[in-house]
Amino acid sequence: MLLSGEISWQFAGILGEHSLNVAVIGSGPSGLASSEALLARGIRVTIFDIGEVLPREVQDRARRLASLPVANWTKSDRAAMTANSTLRRAIPRKFLFGHEFAYGHDKPYLPLDIKNDHFAPSVAQGGYSTLWGAASLPVAECDMTGWPFGADELTPYYRKILTRMPLVGGEGTINEVYPFHTDHLGNLPKNRQAKYLLDDLRASERSLDKTHFVYGESRLAVSSSRCDPCGLCLSGCPRGAIFRTDQVLQSYIETGKISYRRGILVDEVDENGSKATLRYTDLNSGTSQSDHFDAIFIAAGVLGSSRILLRSKRVYDRSLRALQSGKFLIPILRRHATSAPWEEPSIALPQIFMEYKIPGFADNWFHVQVSSASAMMLEALGMRPGQERYWKRKLAEPFLSRLMIAWCGMHSDHSTDIAISLEHKNGCSSTPLLKVRSVGPDRSKKTAKLAGKALFRHGLKFNSWFVTPAMRLSQPGTGYHCGGTFPHETERSSEFGTDILGRPFNWTRVFLVDGSVLPSIPGNTLALTIMANAMRIADKAPIGRNG
């Protein structure tokens, strides 16, 4: 039986839109999802991308380790793959195989003024999917504040994405709120600490009101057949088990299904009655060029897309309001100790999800990802695995054997906002400066305190003490769960609003498809929803005619 919306996927290419030529800006989750929808319609796709990749020697090391059993990996190999100069910070930045190539900081072609170095445009082929933690949940209806359509509009696109993207997960009450949207769910091994916590959660179900607290095994975009648990997940997976959009993109490039222009910085877009125009800088030659297309899909991320659109309309020294999901971290101490989880063959990604609401506060879910203490975490604390005689490690052993970490997210309605602007002096020919600042009241701090107290009360029911005095609040933008700069609107009434197909400025041939168009940001994981919405837009976009 065909699902609603699947007819267009199976037959549109046959019916024919082969004469159309479309540009997609960006190769991250929204770029891939929109490209796949366009390909299914038989439309020619050219991706324009900065597209930086890992240095060759790092790629070679990862390939060599992927060909070896985990037991044969040397200490020097592990040290090189997990090198991270930010580990001693309160909240470290994520690197891939010891390298920070994906971040757009300090790039001469992309002037930035951003206080939070966790938040920057991605310049990587694959965008931030090269660094993400693979957490994948759909959006709940109650978290779609201000959206001009409901969660059912995204359902067929979740299912389409999950035919391509692997997903692991398992049982729990969370499934009553967040459907799987796939019939092919994988499974990953859990360490004893995670198993005991799941047992305690099951035992406490009667005291946990399902309308305000649900839990379950984590949903991760990980291929279980490729995973050989090595504990390096937070530094990247040499075997490619963690889904990255560049893995899929590369197969399209090699088979000629997609034309790929790497080393391109898109400066502006525009349109006239019959064509959309893309102006860009070739970073290899430094030359400025332009091309014309039947339509352009912008998937450069909230910062990259804001830069392009503000520059396209010469909107300088004015701020766009960006929404974000505020994040905070809380250590958890379990009632019962277990053997050191980092010594077990298990994943370092979150193993349990919890979602909860605060009655009387708001009807939004707070999202919690629970992980065991990892080797990287010990490194951040100055206690490397293998240093059993190190006095710090010995003193901390009773604490470490009970330690887990909760990474928590809040809805944008209760989080601090961000202002994004372009600064450009009159008569200056240089590239405009992208400036990012947090603005308005610090709602994240106030909400995190309230959320921490509620989580503490819940935790007592399942033998877990959430250590709220040790809470760490992240800077706005951390985790890149941001958007809302050009939000979907029913009637596109505001200056920077877009219609339900992501078209800004009353344009008909330019479509914005990343998180920039989301009218609010849920506290839970965002990538799967961004991909589903991008695919929806590209599937329904009236290309080749006025919409």
């197969």: which residue's tokens? 251
Residue pLDDT, tens place only, 170-198: 989 999 999 999 999 999 988 889 999 99
Torsion of CA 167, 168, 174, 175, to 10 degrees: 70
Which pLDDT belongs to residue 17?
63
Residue pLDDT, tens place only, 455-494: 999 999 999 999 999 999 988 888 789 999 999 999 888 8
Under DSSP, the state recorded for 249 is H
Residue pair 243/386 in contact (Cβ under 8 Å)? The answer is no
Local confidence band at 88 (pLDDT 50, 70, 90 cut-offs)? confident
Q: Is the model's pLDDT at 11 over the cut of 50?
A: no
In this prediction, residues 355-377 reach a mean pLDDT of: 90
In this prediction, residues 408-416 reach a mean pLDDT of: 97
The mean predicted confidence, pLDDT, of the chain is 89
Q: Is the model's pLDDT at 111 over the cut of 60?
A: yes
Distance of alpha carbon 260 from the chain centroid:
22
Residue pair 448/410 in contact (Cβ under 8 Å)? The answer is yes
Q: Is the model's pLDDT at 157 over the cut of 80?
A: yes
Local confidence band at 92 (pLDDT 50, 70, 90 cut-offs)? confident
Which pLDDT belongs to residue 246?
93
Which pLDDT belongs to residue 120?
86
Determine what percent of the chain is predicted with pLDDT higher than 70. 90
Lowest mean pLDDT among 115-119, 229-233, 361-365, 442-446: 115-119
Which CATH number applies to 6-540?
3.50.50.60
Rounded Cα–Cα distance for residues 171 and 201 (Å): 12
Q: Is the model's pLDDT at 521 over the cut of 90?
A: yes
By DSSP bridging, strand 510-512 and strand 295-298 are parallel
Which pLDDT belongs to residue 345?
65
Local confidence band at 12 (pLDDT 50, 70, 90 cut-offs)? very low
- CB 149: neighbour CB atoms within 10 A? 13
Q: Which of 221, 196, 94, 316 is nearest to 527 (CA)?
A: 221
In this prediction, residues 65-85 reach a mean pLDDT of: 89
Rounded Cα–Cα distance for residues 299 and 534 (Å): 8
Residue pLDDT, tens place only, 36-55: 999 999 999 999 999 999 99
Residue pLDDT, tens place only, 235-258: 899 999 999 999 999 999 999 999
- 108 burial type by CB count under 10 A (0-12 exposed, 13-18 middle, 19+ buried): exposed
- 430 burial type by CB count under 10 A (0-12 exposed, 13-18 middle, 19+ buried): exposed
Which pLDDT belongs to residue 333?
95
In 3-state terms, what secondary structure has residue 214?
Answer: strand
Q: Is the model's pLDDT at 508 over the cut of 90?
A: yes
E strand or H helix at 63, and its extent?
Answer: helix 56-66
Measured between alpha carbons, how far is residue 292 from residues 46, 270, 299, 332 in Å?
11, 10, 18, 55
- CB 187: neighbour CB atoms within 10 A? 11
Q: Greater confidence, 104 or 392?
A: 104
Q: Which of 325, 8, 268, 263 is nearest to 135 (CA)?
A: 325
Determine what percent of the chain is predicted with pLDDT higher than 90. 71
Which pLDDT belongs to residue 6?
38
- Sorted by where each begins, the domain ranges of the chain are 6-540
Residue pair 174/216 in contact (Cβ under 8 Å)? The answer is yes
Q: Is the model's pLDDT at 93 over the cut of 90?
A: no
Which structure tokens are listed for 441? 């009241």
Which pLDDT belongs to residue 230?
83
Bridge partners of 324, per DSSP, are 482
One-letter amino acid of 72: N
DSSP-H helix ranges across 189-291:
192-203, 245-254
Residue pLDDT, tens place only, 337-353: 887 666 666 788 999 99
Rounded Cα–Cα distance for residues 412 and 523 (Å): 7
Q: Which of 240, 264, 305, 205 is nearest to 67 (CA)?
A: 240
E strand or H helix at 377, and its extent?
Answer: helix 375-380
In this prediction, residues 272-287 reach a mean pLDDT of: 94
Local confidence band at 546 (pLDDT 50, 70, 90 cut-offs)? very low
By DSSP bridging, strand 327-334 and strand 288-293 are unpaired
- 184 burial type by CB count under 10 A (0-12 exposed, 13-18 middle, 19+ buried): exposed
Q: Which of 54, 140, 36, 89 is nearest to 520 (CA)?
A: 140
Which pLDDT belongs to residue 527?
96
Q: Is the model's pLDDT at 9 over the cut of 60?
A: no
According to the per-residue pLDDT averaged within each range, which of 103-117, 151-165, 179-193, 374-388 is highest?
151-165
Measured between alpha carbons, how far is residue 13 from residues 41, 199, 494 in Å?
4, 49, 36
């997976």: which residue's tokens? 237
Name the packing angle between helices 29-40 and 245-254 (round to 10°): 40
Rounded Cα–Cα distance for residues 29 and 34 (Å): 9
Residue pair 413/372 in contact (Cβ under 8 Å)? The answer is no
Residues in the chain: 547
